[in-house]
Amino acid sequence: QSVLTQPPSVSAAPGQTVTISCSGSTSNIGNNYVSWYQHLPGTAPKLLIYENNKRPAGIPDRFSGSKSGTSATLGITGLQTGDEADYYCGTWDSSLSAGGVFGGGTKLTVL
């Protein structure tokens, strides 16, 4: 059972927009930065978003992040078949002595 809650799956057609939610609590998302990762099978996860809404160099602006209260959202516009992957949110949980926590992951299918 993951500390952060994500939908198991989302789907959309190429060119469309999709959002992936990540729900937590005041001890984690509510008071800490959220990061998002894209994980393609057989590869290492890739950092897409850090500090809630910042993109590392090289990440296209089709990917965006936001946070409100104890929830965060990853948005992907102009969906491409190459976006089909698992997506994870992560943050620190201040209620834990060692508090790195992740969501269970969301499988994005591009129809």
Rounded least distance, CB 56 to other proteins, Å: 6
Which range of residues in 13-21, 47-55, 68-76, 77-85 is near other proteins by CB under 8 A? 47-55
Distance separating alpha carbons of residues 89 and 101, to the nearest angstrom: 9
At residue 87's C-alpha, the angle toward residues 56 and 6, to 5°, is 125
CA torsion angle 18 2 60 71 (round to 10)? 70
Is 71 an interacting residue with respect to other proteins (CB under 8 A)?
no
Is 47 an interacting residue with respect to other proteins (CB under 8 A)?
yes
Distance separating alpha carbons of residues 4 and 23, to the nearest angstrom: 6
Which range of residues in 15-23, 67-75, 76-84, 86-94 is near other proteins by CB under 8 A? 86-94
Which position among 2, 19, 31, 70 is part of the footprint of other proteins (CB under 8 A)?
Answer: 2
Distance separating alpha carbons of residues 46 and 62, to the nearest angstrom: 15
Q: Which residues of the shown chain bind other proteins in the complex (CB under 8 A)?
A: 2, 32-33, 35, 37, 39, 43-47, 50-51, 56, 86, 88, 90-92, 96-105
